[in-house]
Chain A
């Protein structure tokens, strides 16, 4: 389980996080809500270990994440504003490299995930030929293939069509039902049902 306790973080002169606390249990998704500039992305990047809070602690399974950053990173899958994919590689190659630096996975598993996100048969397509929405779906497949128990997703629903939102909620639901954890930011309500807890940042 993930516990962030009374985080404070300054960006230059701006006090972005003021005593923010989050706790996420296994089998739970947390929706970070709040207006622009409330620190949603900052909090997510702090939870991902990119930013160091000036005060407060982040614990994963009871241990401070600073004690074993690589181990914590291995338990985390992060989807940022950028997809983390290479435009010069095909969808299949992107998944191949990004998944297998984390865990062994066979080709059938990669292909199955691609068809799950609605891109069956597009494995050989260079990423630059895919639309923005299709690329986002490849990035989701990458998160789902990571095998990481903790998903940190920054605005995963933005600019997705209805079908893609359905695919994404399906992936998150399955992950959470299997005992996974998810923290995501979103402007609007998301159709995730009772598994989601909403946390509003002011």
Chain B
């Protein structure tokens, strides 16, 4: 039974509010450290790419954003499943907090991909498999957020959007596969290559640091949004009164 205690405590909003508050400064600190090293190493120290010159440096933002767009969706879906199965309200709050962050990173990945495309292909948009997948992922996020917005009742919004998130996460591999298949038929192999195995350490280490830093940034943003979400949802609860002041 002892192994389940932590799980049950996770279901308690005051507990989650407290521990997310305790984690937050540490997350912020390490986010700054890793992104700081990643950007300094990638944008200043690393040599220019022999083909792409300085244009390749956008990878230090693009790749972590693309990674987070996926991670955030999986986070939403897992939190949604936990919320549906165990009827855990905090899990729904996590899903609701993570989705807008994920949508923002998806948008950022599309934006940086498009900026990267201009010097590489001479056009702002190309129907590259990775960019197209990312675009459909953005559509999935927008559908999720639209469904959430269509309900006046929060409990229903939580559950309905949870079902959609789970259906979406089952579909993402299929969508990705279909887009890669479509792309390979229409224009040969993908032009954009990320993290070539031959990438020298001076380029690779800052990239890995940036990936880790962005992941920590996601966790930190999630904590901030989750705390706000919990306050909003629990605004009538007695445990909040000393924290937010008498209403």
A contact set with B: CB distance below 8 Å = 11-13, 52
Q: Are A12 and B87 in contact (CB under 8 A)?
A: no
Contact of B236 among A11, A13, A52 (CB under 8 A): A13
Chain B residue at minimum C-beta to C-beta distance from A54:
B87
B154 within 8 A of A: yes
Q: Are B154 and A52 in contact (CB under 8 A)?
A: no
Smallest beta-carbon distance B241→chain A, Å: 16
Mark each residue of chain B from 137 to 163: 1 if its CB lies under 8 Å from any CB of chain A, else 0: 000000000000000011100000000
B contact set with A: CB distance below 8 Å = 87, 153-155, 236
Smallest beta-carbon distance B90→chain A, Å: 14
Which residues of the partner chain A approach B236 to less than 8 Å between Cβ atoms?
A: 13
6 of the cross-chain contacts (CB-CB < 8 Å) are A11-B153, A12-B153, A12-B154, A12-B155, A13-B236, A52-B87
Which residues of the partner chain B approach A13 to less than 8 Å between Cβ atoms?
A: 236
Which residues of the partner chain B approach A11 to less than 8 Å between Cβ atoms?
A: 153
Which of B87, B153, B155, B236 gathers most chain A CB within 10 Å?
B155
How far, in angstroms, from A182 to B153 measured CA to CA in the complex?
31
Chain A residue at minimum C-beta to C-beta distance from B87:
A52
Which residues of the partner chain B approach A12 to less than 8 Å between Cβ atoms?
A: 153-155
Chain A residue at minimum C-beta to C-beta distance from B152:
A12
How far, in angstroms, from A12 to B233 measured CA to CA in the complex?
10
Smallest beta-carbon distance B40→chain A, Å: 50
How far, in angstroms, from A26 to B129 measured CA to CA in the complex?
65
Which residues of the partner chain A approach B153 to less than 8 Å between Cβ atoms?
A: 11-12
Give 6 closest A-B pairs by Cβ, nearest first: A12-B153, A13-B236, A52-B87, A12-B154, A12-B155, A11-B153
How far, in angstroms, from A9 to B11 measured CA to CA in the complex?
18
Smallest beta-carbon distance B163→chain A, Å: 16
Which residues of the partner chain A approach B154 to less than 8 Å between Cβ atoms?
A: 12
Smallest beta-carbon distance A35→chain B, Å: 23
Chain A residue at minimum C-beta to C-beta distance from B89:
A54
Which residues of the partner chain A approach B87 to less than 8 Å between Cβ atoms?
A: 52
How far, in angstroms, from A11 to B153 measured CA to CA in the complex?
8
Which residues of the partner chain B approach A52 to less than 8 Å between Cβ atoms?
A: 87
Smallest beta-carbon distance B92→chain A, Å: 14
Smallest beta-carbon distance A53→chain B, Å: 11
How far, in angstroms, from A13 to B153 measured CA to CA in the complex?
10
Smallest beta-carbon distance B198→chain A, Å: 57
Smallest beta-carbon distance B216→chain A, Å: 35
Which residues of the partner chain A approach B155 to less than 8 Å between Cβ atoms?
A: 12
Smallest beta-carbon distance A10→chain B, Å: 8
How far, in angstroms, from A52 to B236 measured CA to CA in the complex?
21
How far, in angstroms, from A85 to B153 measured CA to CA in the complex?
28
Chain A residue at minimum C-beta to C-beta distance from B156:
A12
How far, in angstroms, from A52 to B159 measured CA to CA in the complex?
13
